[in-house]
Amino acid sequence: MVLSSLFVLMGLGFTAATILAVASKILYVKEDPRIAQVEDVLPGVNCGGCGYAGCAGAANAVIDGKSGANVCVIGGIETAKAVGAVMGLEVLDMEPELAFRDCTGGERAEELFNYEGAGNCRAQALLYNGAKTCPEGCLGLGTCVAVCPFDAIHMGPDGLPIVDPLACLACRKCVEACPRGVLSIVSMSAKLLHVEEVNDCLAPCQQECPANINIPRYIEAANNGDYAGAVNIIRERNPLLLVCGRVCPRPCELVCRRTHVDEAVGINMIKRFVADWEMKNNLRLPIPCAKETGRKVAIIGGGPSGLSCAFFLRRLGHSPTIIEAMPDLGGQLRYGIPEYRLPKNDLAWEIQGILDLGVEVRTEQRLGPDFTINDLEEEGFEAFFMGIGAWASGTLRIDGEDAQGVLSGTEFLTAVGLGQTPAIGPKVIVVGGGNTAIDAARTSIRLGCDVTLLYRRTRDEMPANKEEIIAAADEGIKFVFLSAPTKVIIDDKGKATHLECTRMELGEPDESGRRRPVPVEGTEARYPVDTIISAIGQKPQLSCFYTKGEEQCSIGFTRWRTIDAHPETLQTSVPKVFAGGDAVSGPDLVISAVGAGRQAARSIHYLLTTDQIPMADNILRELIPYTLFKDVDGCKHKERSEMPHLCSGDDRTSTFKEIEGCLCEEELHHETSRCLRCGLTCYDRDIPLENIFTNRVGEKVE
């Protein structure tokens, strides 16, 4: 019996083995041996986090080219390197990716998902457009929390998902589950390269900021005491936060929803606080940069746009070199903005932070006389950014303006910026109504002069910042409005002694929307003067583009004699030459130049790495109408903080000491608490809250 059993079993086994052996010869399929090798180096936990059925599935996907060496979400860089070794690829330092919650829009819920029960975000989005009916925002039902296999997301106290960066493995499950596209998997580079689109969740302040800084998010971080976080959020868009914290005219505050309640949030005060916090504690927070690409980019002009472009290029891994005509970097920040508004030491500290990332600098090298773009190309530079600013002054177009004692505003401010003390005499007349005119006037009064500011329209039409005009009046500057110069009277040595002016009256509005001043006959008057400073507009100095003896320049210019660059990519008529800042826009804000620098860095990055510059169709070009509310209910009045003054009286008008101070920590918290958190908390006032049900638990939203 035992023997027959043994025979049967062995016989069966032998038969089966023979069949399989024969079959394996006949049915042999040549399989890529790398599949087994890849599977061997994967951790073998079959977690499915990668989206494939187990490690075998992942190995197949790698060999099929459906997935990269970073297929395994839990193995990290070591596993990626091992997979890369099997595939014959070298895995360099991989840029870490993280899930990131920021309502970045995306396709609408209705288009993507079918009904899956009202208790989750998808169904809520489908049925009611969400409990919170902003077309973009988070619904707060936590579907992403439920699907996260690594417990890396939890719901915060405000009903919004919070990603734990240490636990997140960027497996994309939350991204797939979210019907609103609120979650995304992003790397640092992707954040730096993102151009705001109209279906991103953008608070009005962020839309209006020329650099698109995520204002609500950094205010939130500052409010939580996370000043380093706030600095990092600002640095994603603006490397010059110390500068902007001092001199930005704050276009963001004009559209702040808080203005419908009381006054705008002091956004710039908060920026100034966190920027000063970093500098005063000499922290130099680490700024991550992508792996070196070794691509050389020349940046001509070390002003705000050039510095910004260099900063972002460096963070994206390229090697920028700034070539500056002046002895120091900073451009108009250093030579145009007086010390009392922006101390040179603070500016130097900020610029040093950018250079420390590995940006090369060449100073006192002027485009045209010292080098040309061709020279740089021969040196190995692959792309160029022109941030040459607007240094040429507009002329008065009157008799005698070439006389001794007539200066342009930029000339005067540059001389003071260089540490020279121009001999301007006791009586100074400044002609103009912009910020340069005010700066020249306030600088002159600090040099001990009697200063009169002459402007051909009224005070209401002055383009300078309102605070600056008030401060100038406080400091004793006299204003003469509705008056225009007609002639400079000179003495026999050719020096200006008087300025002849005529009275103006306002006529019909011109193309700028302001009423055109018309001279009134027979109202000429003469003002005694030692120096006349004309500050009536600036434009870029374009002569440097023309090589000697040539009429033609390969770069196109506009009819306003600025560089002609594509408004979104900032590419000029020469494909590898980009331009931004005042050289393209004419005299504009520092923050606009910073924004242009990043835009150009993005374009250069794409041109160098992919040979084309992608631009979405729906990028933000103007304010999104539905984000502009007419009023905001349910907010209590809270007084806006005031910036403290650091000096007063004689101390203010006799030295170049900084005038404005910084908020204290208590005032900062008061100011951050005034923010309505637009974009972080979505609310729709058309549907009363008590009518909104979340079907998951049958409870009303409180």
Residue ranges that bind another protein, judged by CB under 8 A = 4-5, 8-9, 12-13, 16-17, 19-20, 23-24, 26-29, 53-54, 56-57, 116-117, 119-120, 122, 142-143, 146-147, 177, 696-697
Minimum CB distance to another protein, residue 23 (Å): 5
Query: Can you tell me the distance from the alpha carbon of 311 to that of 305, in angstroms, rounded to the nearest whole number?
Result: 10
DSSP-derived letter for residue 53 is S
Q: For residues 240-278, b (16+ Cβ closer than 10 Å) or e, as one string?
A: bbbbbbbbbbbebbebbbbeebeebbbbbbbbbbbbbbb
User: Cβ distance 700 to 690 under 8 Å?
Assistant: yes
Minimum CB distance to another protein, residue 138 (Å): 16
Please name the helix (run of DSSP H) or strand (run of DSSP E) that holds residue 7, with its range, or none. helix 2-26
C-alpha closest to that of 392 among 226, 207, 582: 582
Q: For another protein, which is the closer residue by CB, 143 or 592?
A: 143
User: Cβ distance 641 to 685 under 8 Å?
Assistant: no
Q: For another protein, which is the closer residue by CB, 143 or 199?
A: 143
Minimum CB distance to another protein, residue 120 (Å): 4
Minimum CB distance to another protein, residue 14 (Å): 11
Query: Can you tell me the distance from the alpha carbon of 406 to that of 398, in angstroms, rounded to the nearest whole number?
Result: 12
Q: For another protein, which is the closer residue by CB, 117 or 225?
A: 117
User: Cβ distance 438 to 472 under 8 Å?
Assistant: yes
Query: Can you tell me the distance from the alpha carbon of 152 to that of 136, in angstroms, rounded to the nearest whole number?
Result: 23
Q: For another protein, which is the closer residue by CB, 1 or 166?
A: 1
Q: For another protein, which is the closer residue by CB, 12 or 190?
A: 12
User: Cβ distance 164 to 153 under 8 Å?
Assistant: yes
Indicate the burial class of 289 (C-beta count within 10 angstroms; 0-12, 13-18, 19 or more).
Answer: middle
Q: For another protein, which is the closer residue by CB, 120 or 268?
A: 120
Q: For another protein, which is the closer residue by CB, 34 or 487?
A: 34
Q: For another protein, which is the closer residue by CB, 15 or 648?
A: 15
Minimum CB distance to another protein, residue 87 (Å): 21
Q: For another protein, which is the closer residue by CB, 423 or 697?
A: 697
Query: Can you tell me the distance from the alpha carbon of 313 to that of 387, in angstroms, rounded to the nearest whole number?
Result: 14
Indicate the burial class of 602 (C-beta count within 10 angstroms; 0-12, 13-18, 19 or more).
Answer: buried
Minimum CB distance to another protein, residue 146 (Å): 5
Give the torsion sign (CA, 40, 45, 46, 48).
Answer: negative
C-alpha closest to that of 390 among 163, 154, 554, 560: 560
End-to-end CA distance of the chain: 80
Residue 17: C-alpha distances to residues 9, 10, 22 (Å) = 12, 10, 8
Minimum CB distance to another protein, residue 20 (Å): 6
Minimum CB distance to another protein, residue 260 (Å): 37
Query: Can you tell me the distance from the alpha carbon of 397 to that of 411, in angstroms, rounded to the nearest whole number?
Result: 17
Minimum CB distance to another protein, residue 359 (Å): 48
Minimum CB distance to another protein, residue 51 (Å): 11
Minimum CB distance to another protein, residue 114 (Å): 12
Q: For another protein, which is the closer residue by CB, 29 or 423?
A: 29
Minimum CB distance to another protein, residue 76 (Å): 24
Contacting residues for 101 by C-beta, under 8 A, at least 6 apart: 138, 160, 161, 162, 163, 182, 183
User: Cβ distance 591 to 234 under 8 Å?
Assistant: no
Minimum CB distance to another protein, residue 49 (Å): 13
Q: For another protein, which is the closer residue by CB, 27 or 166?
A: 27
Q: For another protein, which is the closer residue by CB, 139 or 270?
A: 139
User: Cβ distance 152 to 99 under 8 Å?
Assistant: yes
| CA angle (486, 490, 492) in 5-degree steps | 155
C-alpha closest to that of 182 among 111, 222, 134: 134
Q: For another protein, which is the closer residue by CB, 58 or 82?
A: 58
- For residue 194, the number of C-alpha atoms closer than 13 Å in the C-beta half-sphere is 20
Indicate the burial class of 576 (C-beta count within 10 angstroms; 0-12, 13-18, 19 or more).
Answer: middle
At 666, list the tokens.
């208590």
Minimum CB distance to another protein, residue 122 (Å): 8
Q: For another protein, which is the closer residue by CB, 17 or 628?
A: 17
C-alpha closest to that of 295 among 354, 355, 381: 381
User: Cβ distance 389 to 332 under 8 Å?
Assistant: yes
Q: For another protein, which is the closer residue by CB, 53 or 473?
A: 53
Q: For another protein, which is the closer residue by CB, 178 or 219?
A: 178
Query: Can you tell me the distance from the alpha carbon of 138 to that of 106, in angstroms, rounded to the nearest whole number?
Result: 12
